[in-house]
């Protein structure tokens, strides 16, 4: 049975997918390089530290977990500061522009784990727990931690369209909505490939999984570039309505290729918004929304395609303007916006940013 399928990005004011280049990593203080990339050492202390790292496999695992955790935090709008070595692990600070948090990462007989015990604010602790995936494991999350893919929720039909978006909380870069159609065979293939919520994956892993998803499932990606986004937002005046419009376009695009009676997405607004935005072909589909919808393999796959397209686009913007555009919305974002305005003019922000964010008001 042939389960492969490909579909092009529908780009609105953004670059269409052709031959995407490798993602450009953000420079972060304390970033770990692999052994073959380590720069010349400048002190005996540095040398001893590196030797101790390379002497034990657990340190390699700790650093890999640190890199994945840092990537997840950055995608959520956090800035990760320099780490330091502590007994049995690493310690580092992270900031979202308003709150700071001290995190620790340990390696031991029970494996690698993040320790959030130093985070006293329950709201911040809950947010970090979700971002880093350190919540007490459920049946679905337990399989994710073992490296397996997200399992379809037992109450979901085996055949459905999963929809998710990326970029709605990022000041720079586009808004991307993606949809993926699965049936029982495709769900099994995605799970075997380790597909899960993009928030638990590094950008490198996302790129690899995106290629697998595209070759396995019918899919649709709507990329709304910044200029078009700002035009639509000024006309619609509401992010949820804009999201509903994007979700509807993705569903309509897929229904032109497959027959499917159910679409599932994360809860972001009254489902009537999406229903009203659907055209004739989509009016008969059953729309489901719920929190943590990424636990379903179809929505998890859609989250990966959306995030991959977002990262590719924001990196392309960086190459075009010779700058690094931070993800999320933080003090680093504000600094980059002011730098951009000084170099290219404030009126050019429309090409790279979402102007309704409060960040824009702080750029002279």
Q: Are 137 and 154 in contact (CB under 8 A)?
A: no
Residue 290 resides in a domain: yes
Return the pLDDT at 27: 29
- Tokens 């900031």 sit at which residue? 95
Together in a domain, 222 and 111: no
Residue 109: is its pLDDT beyond 90? no
Over the stretch 64-97, which tens digit does the pLDDT of each residue have?
Answer: 788 888 888 888 888 888 788 887 788 888 988 7
Residue 166 resides in a domain: yes
Q: By percentage, how much of the chain surpasses pLDDT 90?
A: 42
Over the stretch 282-301, which tens digit does the pLDDT of each residue have?
Answer: 778 999 888 888 899 999 99
9: left (phi over 0), alpha (psi -120 to 50) or beta: beta
Among 131, 112, 143, 24, residue whose Cα is nearest residue 70:
131
Return the pLDDT at 318: 96
Among 324, 315, 326, 316, residue whose Cα is nearest residue 343:
324
Boundary (domain end) residue, out of 272, 292, 313: 313
Return the pLDDT at 335: 94
Residue 345: is its pLDDT beyond 70? yes
- Tokens 């009254």 sit at which residue? 270
Residue 325 resides in a domain: no
Together in a domain, 62 and 183: no
**Containing structural domain, residue 70:** 35-135
**CATH number of residue 105's parent domain:** 3.30.310.240
**CATH number of residue 200's parent domain:** 3.30.420.10
Together in a domain, 123 and 158: no
Boundary (domain end) residue, out of 285, 313, 341: 313
Look up the pTM and report it: 0.64
Residue 345 resides in a domain: no
Among 206, 200, 208, residue whose Cα is nearest residue 72:
200
Among 142, 131, 145, residue whose Cα is nearest residue 71:
131
Return the pLDDT at 49: 41
Over the stretch 215-243, which tens digit does the pLDDT of each residue have?
Answer: 999 999 999 999 999 999 999 888 888 99
Among 71, 64, 70, residue whose Cα is nearest residue 35:
64
Q: Which of 41-45, 227-231, 268-272 has the highest mean pLDDT?
A: 227-231
Together in a domain, 156 and 251: yes
Over the stretch 186-220, which tens digit does the pLDDT of each residue have?
Answer: 999 999 999 998 988 888 899 999 999 999 999 99
Residue 44 resides in a domain: yes
Together in a domain, 113 and 227: no
Neighbouring residues of 311: CB distance < 8 A, sequence distance ≥ 6: 23, 203, 206, 207
- Please give the Cα distance from 12 to 16 (Å, whole number): 9
- Tokens 């031991």 sit at which residue? 108
Residue 347 resides in a domain: no
Together in a domain, 164 and 16: yes
CA distances from 161 to 167, 208, 278, 361 (A): 20, 21, 14, 38
HSE, side-chain direction, 13 A CA sphere, residue 133? 26
Together in a domain, 125 and 189: no
What mean pLDDT is predicted for residues 120-140? 70
HSE, side-chain direction, 13 A CA sphere, residue 361? 3
Neighbouring residues of 353: CB distance < 8 A, sequence distance ≥ 6: 171, 172, 226, 337, 340, 359, 360
Together in a domain, 164 and 308: yes
Residue 322: is its pLDDT beyond 70? yes
Residue 55: is its pLDDT beyond 50? no
Residue 174: strand, helix, or coil: coil
Neighbouring residues of 110: CB distance < 8 A, sequence distance ≥ 6: none
Neighbouring residues of 105: CB distance < 8 A, sequence distance ≥ 6: 62, 65, 66, 69, 89, 90, 91, 92, 112, 113, 114, 115
- Tokens 């919520």 sit at which residue? 197
Encoded tokens for 60: 């390699």
Over the stretch 134-165, which tens digit does the pLDDT of each residue have?
Answer: 644 333 333 444 445 665 555 789 999 999 99
Measured over the CA atoms of residue 54, residue 58, residue 63 and residue 68, the dihedral's sign is positive
Residue 221 resides in a domain: yes
Boundary (domain end) residue, out of 84, 103, 135: 135
Torsion of the alpha carbons at 151, 71, 175 and 333, rounded to the nearest 10: 150
- Please give the Cα distance from 105 to 69 (Å, whole number): 10
Residue 78 resides in a domain: yes
Together in a domain, 102 and 170: no
Task: Tell me how far apart the 2 most distant CA atoms of the chain are, in Å.
Answer: 70
**H or E element: which one contains 196?**
none
* 174 or 151, greater pLDDT: 174
Domain count, the chain: 2
- Please give the Cα distance from 17 to 19 (Å, whole number): 7
Q: Are 361 and 337 in contact (CB under 8 A)?
A: no
Q: Are 119 and 103 in contact (CB under 8 A)?
A: yes
Residue 100: is its pLDDT beyond 60? yes
| Rg, Å, the chain Cα set | 21
Together in a domain, 97 and 244: no
CA distances from 225 to 14, 176, 250, 333 (A): 4, 9, 16, 18
Together in a domain, 174 and 110: no
∠ CA 275-301-64 to the nearest 5 degrees? 140
Together in a domain, 197 and 306: yes
Q: If you average pLDDT over every residue of the chain, what do you get?
A: 79
What mean pLDDT is predicted for residues 99-105? 88
């Amino acid at each position: 049975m042939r389960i492969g399928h490909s579909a092009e990005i529908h780009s609105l004011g953004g670059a269409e997918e052709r031959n995407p280049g490798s993602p450009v990593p953000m420079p972060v203080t304390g970033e770990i390089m692999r052994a073959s990339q380590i720069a010349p050492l400048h002190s005996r202390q540095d040398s001893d530290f590196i030797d101790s790292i390379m002497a034990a496999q657990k340190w390699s695992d700790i650093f890999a977990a640190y890199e994945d955790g840092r990537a997840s935090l950055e995608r959520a709008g956090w800035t990760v500061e320099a780490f330091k070595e502590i007994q049995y692990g690493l310690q580092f600070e992270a900031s979202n522009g308003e709150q700071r948090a001290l995190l620790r990462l340990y390696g031991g007989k029970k494996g690698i784990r993040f320790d959030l015990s130093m985070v006293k604010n329950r709201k911040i602790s809950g947010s970090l727990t979700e971002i880093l995936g350190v919540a007490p494991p459920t049946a679905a999350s337990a399989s994710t931690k073992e490296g397996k893919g997200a399992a379809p929720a037992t109450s979901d039909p085996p055949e459905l369209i999963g929809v998710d978006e990326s970029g709605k909380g990022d000041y720079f870069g586009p808004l991307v909505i993606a949809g993926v159609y699965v049936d029982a065979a495709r769900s099994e293939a995605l799970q075997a490939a380790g597909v899960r919520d993009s928030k638990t994956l590094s950008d490198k892993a996302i790129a690899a999984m995106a290629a697998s998803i595209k070759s396995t499932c019918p899919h649709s990606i709507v990329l709304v570039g910044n200029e078009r986004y700002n035009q639509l937002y000024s006309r619609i005046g509401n992010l949820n309505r804009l999201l509903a419009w994007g979700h509807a376009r993705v569903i309509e695009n897929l229904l032109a290729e497959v027959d499917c009676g159910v679409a599932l997405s994360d809860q972001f607004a009254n489902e009537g918004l999406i229903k009203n935005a659907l055209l004739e072909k989509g009016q008969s589909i059953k729309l489901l929304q719920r929190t943590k919808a990424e636990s379903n393999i179809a929505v998890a796959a859609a989250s990966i395609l959306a995030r991959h397209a977002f990262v590719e686009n924001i990196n392309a913007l960086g190459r075009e303007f010779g700058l690094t555009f931070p993800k999320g919305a933080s003090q680093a974002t504000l600094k980059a916006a002011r730098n951009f305005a000084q170099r290219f003019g404030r009126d050019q922000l429309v090409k790279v940013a979402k102007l309704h964010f409060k960040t824009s008001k702080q750029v002279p």
